[in-house]
Chain A
Amino acid sequence: MSIRGKTLYLDQLTVSFDGFKALDGLNLQIEPGELRCIIGPNGAGKTTMMDVITGKTRPDSGTVRFGSDLNLLALSEPEIAEAGIGRKFQRPTVFEQLTVSDNLELALAGEKSFLKKLLGRTTAEQYRRIDEVLEIIGLTAQRELLGQALSHGQKQWLEIGMLLMQDPELLLLDEPVAGMTPQEIERTDRLLQSLEGDHSVVVVEHDMDFVRSIAKRVTVLHEGRVLAEGDMNQVQSDPRVIEVYLGG
Chain B
Amino acid sequence: MRKYTVWVSARKDRGTKWFLGGLALVAIVLPFLNLAVPQSSAFHVSTYALTLVGKYFCYAMLALAVDLIWGYCGILSLGHGAFFALGGYAMGMYLMREIGPRGVYGNPVLPDFMVFLNWKSLPWFWYGFNHFGFALLMVALVPGVLALAFGWFAFRSRVTGVYFSIITQALTYALMLGFFRNDTGFGGNNGFTDFKDIVGFNLDSPRVHAFLLVITLTMLALSYVVCRAIVASRAGRVIRAIRDSESRTRFLGYRVENYKLWVFVVSAVIAGIAGALYVPQIGIINPSEFAPLNSIEIVICVAVGGRGTLYGAVVGAVLVNYAKTYFTTAIPEAWNYALGALFVLVTLFLPRGITGLWSRIVEFAYRRGFRRESQAAIQQLELTRE
Interface residues of A (CB under 8 A from B): 77-78, 81-82, 93, 95-98, 102, 105-107, 112-115, 117-122, 124, 127, 162
| B234 and A97 form a contact (CB under 8 A) | no
Query: Which residues on A sit within 8 Å (CB–CB) of B238?
Result: 106, 114, 117
Write 11 A-B pairs (CB below 8 A) sorted by A numbering: A81-B251, A81-B253, A93-B248, A95-B241, A95-B248, A98-B240, A102-B237, A106-B249, A112-B254, A115-B235, A121-B5
Convert B209-233 into 0s and 1s, putting 1 for each residue whose CB lies closer than 8 angstroms to a CB of A: 0000000000000000000001001
B153 to chain A, nearest CB (A): 18
- Among residues of B, the one whose C-beta sits closest to the C-beta of A114 is B262
B244 interface residue per 8 A CB criterion: yes
| B245 and A120 form a contact (CB under 8 A) | no
Partner of A106 from B230, B233, B237 at Cβ < 8 Å: B237
B12 interface residue per 8 A CB criterion: no
- Among B3, B230, B234, B240, which residue has the most Cβ atoms of chain A within 10 A? B234
| A97 and B243 form a contact (CB under 8 A) | yes
Interface residues of B (CB under 8 A from A): 1-6, 230, 233-235, 237-238, 240-241, 243-245, 248-255, 258-259, 262
Partner of B240 from A82, A97, A119, A162 at Cβ < 8 Å: A97
Query: Which residues on B sit within 8 Å (CB–CB) of A112?
Result: 253-255
| B241 and A98 form a contact (CB under 8 A) | yes
Query: Which residues on A sit within 8 Å (CB–CB) of B259?
Result: 114
Query: Which residues on B sit within 8 Å (CB–CB) of A95?
Result: 240-241, 244-245, 248
Beyond A81-B251, A95-B241, is A114–B258 a contact (Cβ under 8 Å)?
yes
| B244 and A96 form a contact (CB under 8 A) | yes
The 3 tightest CB contacts between A and B, nearest first, are A117-B235, A118-B235, A117-B234
19 additional contacts (CB under 8 A) given A77-B251, A114-B238: A78-B250, A81-B253, A93-B245, A95-B245, A97-B244, A98-B240, A98-B241, A102-B237, A106-B241, A113-B255, A115-B235, A117-B233, A119-B233, A120-B234, A124-B1, A124-B3, A127-B1, A127-B2, A162-B252
Query: Which residues on A sit within 8 Å (CB–CB) of B255?
Result: 112-113
| A113 and B258 form a contact (CB under 8 A) | yes
| B252 and A107 form a contact (CB under 8 A) | yes
B56 to chain A, nearest CB (A): 30
| B253 and A82 form a contact (CB under 8 A) | yes
Query: Which residues on B sit within 8 Å (CB–CB) of A162?
Result: 252
Partner of A118 from B1, B2, B234 at Cβ < 8 Å: B234
A98 to chain B, nearest CB (A): 6
Query: Which residues on A sit within 8 Å (CB–CB) of B230?
Result: 118
Query: Which residues on B sit within 8 Å (CB–CB) of A117?
Result: 233-235, 238
CA distance A81 to B249 in the complex (A): 13
Query: Which residues on A sit within 8 Å (CB–CB) of B1?
Result: 124, 127
Partner of B253 from A78, A114, A121, A122 at Cβ < 8 Å: A78
Query: Which residues on A sit within 8 Å (CB–CB) of B243?
Result: 97
Query: Which residues on B sit within 8 Å (CB–CB) of A105?
Result: 234, 237
| B235 and A114 form a contact (CB under 8 A) | yes
Query: Which residues on A sit within 8 Å (CB–CB) of B248?
Result: 93, 95
Query: Which residues on A sit within 8 Å (CB–CB) of B234?
Result: 105, 117-118, 120-122
A230 to chain B, nearest CB (A): 34
Query: Which residues on A sit within 8 Å (CB–CB) of B3?
Result: 121, 124, 127
A56 to chain B, nearest CB (A): 11
